[in-house]
Amino acid sequence: MRLTCNQQVMAKAILENLIQTKTPISYAEFALRLELTGPQKINRVIKWLEKITLEDASKGAPIRASMVFSKFHSGLPSSGFFEFCKEIGLFNWNNEPSRAQYFIQSQQKALFSTKTACK
């Protein structure tokens, strides 16, 4: 099951807010904010994040999915995120948490620098 069109619009708005406020959140919190219920809710979020990662990578844009992390990986996305990035030729982390941390921080920094606060 995938996110509905309305859920995708809502998810984009949530991500934009996270970027504006420089506030990463967990997959579970993201699913909660989307008001997802039932089995596979985290998987639905992950599949959508993979979709937008492909979009961002194809545009050479910072990776918005870097704002969502696994509560099991010290503020980093799941290892599956990094494997997906490797599969699409975006980033090879070689199972090194320090490389993964650097990649996420650089993506977030790029996101924060491309977004300007309201004045």
Two tokens, residue 102: 């650097």
Dist CA 117 CA 58 (whole Å): 26
pLDDT per residue over 81-103, tens digit each?
A: 999 999 999 999 998 999 999 99
- Enumerate residues 6+ apart whose C-beta is below 8 A from 78: 27, 46, 70, 72
pLDDT per residue over 4-46, tens digit each?
A: 999 999 999 999 999 999 999 999 999 999 999 988 999 999 9
Which residue shows structure tokens 């219920």?
Answer: 37
Q: For residue 107, what pLDDT is reported?
A: 97
Q: Structure pTM?
A: 0.91
